[in-house]
């Protein structure tokens, strides 16, 4: 979610009827207590600072951190594609796998897909990958071209794509303001299902229209309410039951 202009900032600073994702993320961190954390798209570092892990990696071609990163946090000033081409994530985490990751970089389907596939290679069965912007509010803000203040892009297509091609994953989308948070579990670092057919997935999902998903949005995106008790039980299970 892009939020640099004052109008968008007002949206975030006003009290909303429901807690937004900056209230949900710390709960997830406190509950999962990850040893390692990776964030793609860190900007000012608001979500990165929520990680209390001994080892964290933040990746962004244009970081604008407002605070010094916590001890154990390493910042890589580059795109996520560059990072995965040039670095071994496990090595950068002190030869450890990823416990928790947050994808919030380029808000286009193909970038989110590659970010997910690249991260999964360094995960284990009980890791969790969170993906921002998976429950769009309307067609305009969910489009590939940015024409709105609040812009989630077409990251939501990642959920549709994973449901079709990776039924082995357990995933849901929390309907948390402003544009939802995907939670993906039961990861398989050995899976090549996505990486072996990237071009075909781009061809299928880049033109995929919002109207194909919207009439059945909650089911298509495995929507769950933003109720902590429910989210906690989903995170407690070794894998998340699809809804
Ligand atoms: C919405 S901001 C991230 C906000 C941050 N996660 C937070 O909640 O505090 C998106 C960030 O993604 C970064 N970005 C854009 N393209 C990227 C890419 N290809 N790889 C990694 N980061 C990217 C942008 O520079 C921007 O800082």
Q: How far is the CA of 127 from the centre of ligand 1 (A)?
A: 22
Residue percentage of the chain with pLDDT more than 90: 87
**Predicted confidence (pLDDT) per residue in 9-20, tens digit:** 333 443 444 569
Q: For a pocket test of ligand 1, which of 12, 24, 60 has the largest count of ligand atoms closer than 8 A to its C-beta?
A: 60
pLDDT at position 237: 74
Q: From edge to edge, which strands make up the β-sheet containing 98-103?
A: 73-76, 55-59, 36-40, 98-103, 123-132, 181-185, 170-174, 223-224
Q: How far is the CA of 49 from the centre of ligand 1 (A)?
A: 14
Q: How far apart are CA 243 and CA 240, in angstroms?
A: 9
Residue 234 class from Cβ within 10 Å (0-12 exposed, 13-18 middle, 19+ buried)? buried
Six token digits for residue 223: 């929507």
CA 135 to chain centre: 11
The answer to whether the CB of 104 is under 6 A from ligand 1 is yes
Q: How far is the CA of 169 from the centre of ligand 1 (A)?
A: 25
Residue 216: φ, ψ to 5°: -130, 40
**Predicted confidence (pLDDT) per residue in 182-240, tens digit:** 999 999 999 999 999 999 999 999 999 999 999 999 999 999 999 999 999 999 876 54
């Amino acid at each position: 979610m892009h939020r640099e202009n004052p109008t968008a900032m007002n949206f975030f600073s006003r009290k909303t009827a429901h807690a937004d994702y900056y209230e949900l993320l710390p709960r997830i961190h406190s509950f999962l207590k990850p040893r390692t954390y990776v964030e793609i798209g860190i900007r000012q570092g608001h979500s990165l600072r929520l990680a209390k892990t001994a080892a964290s990696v933040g990746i962004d071609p244009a970081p604008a951190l407002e605070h010094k990163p916590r001890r154990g946090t390493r910042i890589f000033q580059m795109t996520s594609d560059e990072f995965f081409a040039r670095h071994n994530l496990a090595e950068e985490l002190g030869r450890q796998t990823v416990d928790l990751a947050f994808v919030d970089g380029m808000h286009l389907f193909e970038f989110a897909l590659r970010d997910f596939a690249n991260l999964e290679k360094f995960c284990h069965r009980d890791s969790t990958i969170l993906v921002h912007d998976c429950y769009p509010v309307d067609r305009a803000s969910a489009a590939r071209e940015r024409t709105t203040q609040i812009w989630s892009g077409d990251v939501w297509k990642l959920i549709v794509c994973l449901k079709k091609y990776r039924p082995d994953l357990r995933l849901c989308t929390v309907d948390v303001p402003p544009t939802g948070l995907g939670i993906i579990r039961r990861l398989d670092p050995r899976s090549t299902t996505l990486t072996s057919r990237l071009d075909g997935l781009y061809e299928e999902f880049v033109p995929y229209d919002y109207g194909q998903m919207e009439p059945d949005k909650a089911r298509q995106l495995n929507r769950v309410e933003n109720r902590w008790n429910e989210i906690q039980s989903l995170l407690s299970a070794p894998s998340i039951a699809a809804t």
